[in-house]
């Protein structure tokens, strides 16, 4: 392969987990060549210390601004790219990664593959990614270098051991007039009286419930099981339950003893919030629903038949 430039993610003073995974993925891609890690904005020296991980050849620090700004990141990555001439620009498939990776690719006229879950570098670069809500996997053959690739969080192990990489301050030249958006603050959402992260047993409901009035069935089950009701995103998007019930990437991360997924397909952004549950039980009509890949117990059947029977079994 060839040199890799990996740009990490951080927010409000902390490196995000995907940053450490990016190092592992970057190492895999670089093979015998160099892995360059870059950190843009924030407390770059402190971040650089943490990024001195096994397999990293150099850490480039771009000391400009505090928080993520895509216009700054775009310019910084363009300049790093010109300087380092990597064969792969590796970025996280996070919300912020997706806020600038496509601009990097377009501006440098490079092909872009997002949301990679595995690589094969035996004969050129093949990227594995999912389609159709994780129902199928695909191989994308990359016929040219350089390329921009974003990697999904949680797919590569975090790099750990210490490296001994050089820390290289990078002299960036940011054109202020091209910085046309400004972050004015952050807000935590999803507060309120119910804390689903605290529950031992969650009865979680998804779009398979069909109609708002059918939610009663789920609340009845929760009552029978002495459990708390949570949900996937569409239920919250529809306004049927408040945001504090939402499990997933943009909701809460929960680790109950038992997580009962009812009419939930198991999309990656949902799974991100519940894969740490001790026991996962799924009820879904679709035998191919990805939720069954992570479930411990399951029933392939209509929830409107199984849930009432389950309530009865507990009464």
Partner 1 sequence: MKILVTVKEVAEVEDDFEIDGTSISESSLEYDLNEWDDYAVEAAVQIAEAGDDVEVVAVTIGPERSEETIRMALAKGVDRAVRVWDDAFEDVDLLDVESKTDVLAAVAAEEDPDLVLTGVQAADDSFGATGVSLADELGFEWAAVVNDLELGEDTASVRRELEGGVEELTEVELPAVFTIQTGINEPRYASLRGIRQAQRKEIAATGLGDLGLDASVVESDLRLTEMYEPESESDVTLFEGDAEATAAELATVLREKGVGAE
Ligand X SMILES: Cc1cc2nc3c(=O)[nH]c(=O)nc-3n(C[C@H](O)[C@H](O)[C@H](O)COP(=O)(O)OP(=O)(O)OC[C@H]3O[C@@H](n4cnc5c(N)ncnc54)[C@H](O)[C@@H]3O)c2cc1C
Classify 305 as helix, strand or coil: helix
Contact call for residue 207 and ligand X (CB under 6 A): yes
Nearer to partner 1, 120 or 216 (CB): 120
- Token pair in block for residue 241: 């339950």
Terminal-to-terminal C-alpha distance of the chain: 62
Binding to ligand X (CB under 6 A) within 125-164 occurs at 133
> Residue 49: CB partners within 8 Å, gap ≥ 6?
none
Classify 122 as helix, strand or coil: strand
Of positions 233, 241, 292, 310, contacts ligand X by CB under 6 A: 233
Beta bridge partners of 149: 90, 113
Binding to partner 1 (CB under 8 A) within 198-227 occurs at 200-201, 224-227
Binding to partner 1 (CB under 8 A) within 293-312 occurs at 293-302, 305-306, 308-310, 312
Nearer to partner 1, 135 or 169 (CB): 135
Contact call for residue 240 and ligand X (CB under 6 A): no
- Token pair in block for residue 66: 């505090």
Per-residue contact string for residues 69-98; x = within reach of ligand X by CB under 6 A:
--------------------------x---
- CA–CA distance, 35 with 25 (Å, rounded to integer): 10
Per-residue contact string for residues 252-271; x = within reach of partner 1 by CB under 8 A:
xx---xx-x-----------
- For partner 1, which stretch binds (CB under 8 A), given 26-34, 41-49, 83-91, 230-238? 230-238
Contact call for residue 70 and partner 1 (CB under 8 A): yes
- CA–CA distance, 315 with 313 (Å, rounded to integer): 6
Classify 10 as helix, strand or coil: strand
CA distances from 113 to 96, 142, 223, 271 (A): 16, 9, 45, 22
- CA–CA distance, 270 with 232 (Å, rounded to integer): 7
On the CB side of 178, how many CA atoms lie within 13 Å of its CA? 10
Give the residue from 44, 301, 19, 299 showing the smallest Cα distance to 153: 19
Of positions 29, 51, 90, 289, contacts ligand X by CB under 6 A: 289
Per-residue contact string for residues 80-119; x = within reach of partner 1 by CB under 8 A:
-------------xxxx-xxxxxx-xxx-x-xxxxx----
Q: How many residues bind partner 1 (CB under 8 A)?
A: 101
- CA–CA distance, 189 with 244 (Å, rounded to integer): 8
Burial class (CB in 10 A: 0-12, 13-18, 19+), 69: buried
- For partner 1, which stretch binds (CB under 8 A), given 19-27, 58-66, 167-175, 183-191? 183-191
Of positions 123, 188, 193, 213, contacts partner 1 by CB under 8 A: 188
Of positions 246, 281, 292, 310, contacts ligand X by CB under 6 A: 246
Contact call for residue 174 and partner 1 (CB under 8 A): no
Nearer to partner 1, 54 or 128 (CB): 128
CA distances from 302 to 230, 284, 310 (A): 19, 6, 12
- CA–CA distance, 302 with 209 (Å, rounded to integer): 10
Contact call for residue 114 and ligand X (CB under 6 A): no
From the list partner 1, ligand X, none, partner contacted by residue 162 (C-beta under 5 to 8 A by kind): none
Contact call for residue 79 and partner 1 (CB under 8 A): no
Residues that bind ligand X (CB under 6 A): 95, 133, 206-208, 232-234, 246-251, 263-265, 267, 269-270, 273, 283-286, 289, 302-304
């Amino acid at each position: 392969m060839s040199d890799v430039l990996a740009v990490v993610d951080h927010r409000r003073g902390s490196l995000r987990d995907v940053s450490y995974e990016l190092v592992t993925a970057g190492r895999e891609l670089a093979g015998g060549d160099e892995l360059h890690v870059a950190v843009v904005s924030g407390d770059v020296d402190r971040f650089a210390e943490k990024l001195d991980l096994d397999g990293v050849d150099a850490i480039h620090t771009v000391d400009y601004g505090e928080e993520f700004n895509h216009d700054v990141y775009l310019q910084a990555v363009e300049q790093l790219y010109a300087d380092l001439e990597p064969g792969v620009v590796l970025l996280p498939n996070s919300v912020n990664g997706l806020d600038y990776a496509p601009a990097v690719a377009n501006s440098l006229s490079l092909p872009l593959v997002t949301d990679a879950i595995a690589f094969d570098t035996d004969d050129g670069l093949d990227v594995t990614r999912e389609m159709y809500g994780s129902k199928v996997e695909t191989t994308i053959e990359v016929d040219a270098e350089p390329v921009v690739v974003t990697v999904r969080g949680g797919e590569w192990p975090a790099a750990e051991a210490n490296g001994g990489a050089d820390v290289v301050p990078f002299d960036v030249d940011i054109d202020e007039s091209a910085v046309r958006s400004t972050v004015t603050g952050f807000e935590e959402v999803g507060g309120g009286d119910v804390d689903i992260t605290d529950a031992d047993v969650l009865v979680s409901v998804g779009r398979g419930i069909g109609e708002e009035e059918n939610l009663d069935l789920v609340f009845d089950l929760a009552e029978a099981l002495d459990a708390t009701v949570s949900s996937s995103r569409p239920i919250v998007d529809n306004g049927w339950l408040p945001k504090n019930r939402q499990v997933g990437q943009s909701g809460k991360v929960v680790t109950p003893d038992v997580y009962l997924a009812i009419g939930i397909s198991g999309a990656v952004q949902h799974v991100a919030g519940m894969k740490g549950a001790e026991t996962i039980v799924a009820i879904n009509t679709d035998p191919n629903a990805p939720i069954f890949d992570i479930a411990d117990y399951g029933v392939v059947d209509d929830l409107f038949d199984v849930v009432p029977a389950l309530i009865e079994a507990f009464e």
